[in-house]
Amino acid sequence: MRKALRFETLQGLQKPLADILLAAVLTYEAGMKLHYRDQVFDVRRLINQLVAEVPSGDDVTLVVEGKDAKAALADIEKGLRKEGHL
């Protein structure tokens, strides 16, 4: 299964957003890739770099693949809504 979610970075990929993505990475087996402009980042490898590299106000797209992709994306979307990113 492949699911995607596009959201706005209100203050870049700062701690609250990074915490949401990190929690999903630690909870689910699904592979997660973050698409930003013409770059693709493996969330498991680059979570710390993303916090510093994506400026505030830019849109990024998260693509989640794997057997638990739907559940992973639902939790991420819930967290993003709570933090005001959606």
Instruction: In whole angstroms, give the CA distance from residue 81 to residue 59.
Output: 15
pLDDT digits 0-9 by tens, 23-76:
888 888 888 888 888 988 888 877 656 556 667 778 888 888 898 999 998 998
Going by pLDDT thresholds of 50, 70 and 90, the confidence category of residue 13 is low
pLDDT of amino acid 22: 83
Output 14 or 38, whichever has higher pLDDT: 38
pTM of the entire predicted model: 0.50
Give the right CATH number for 2-82 from 3.30.1340.10, 3.30.70.1450, 2.60.40.420, 3.40.30.10. 3.30.1340.10
Give the DSSP H/E element, type plus range, for residue 20.
Answer: helix 15-27
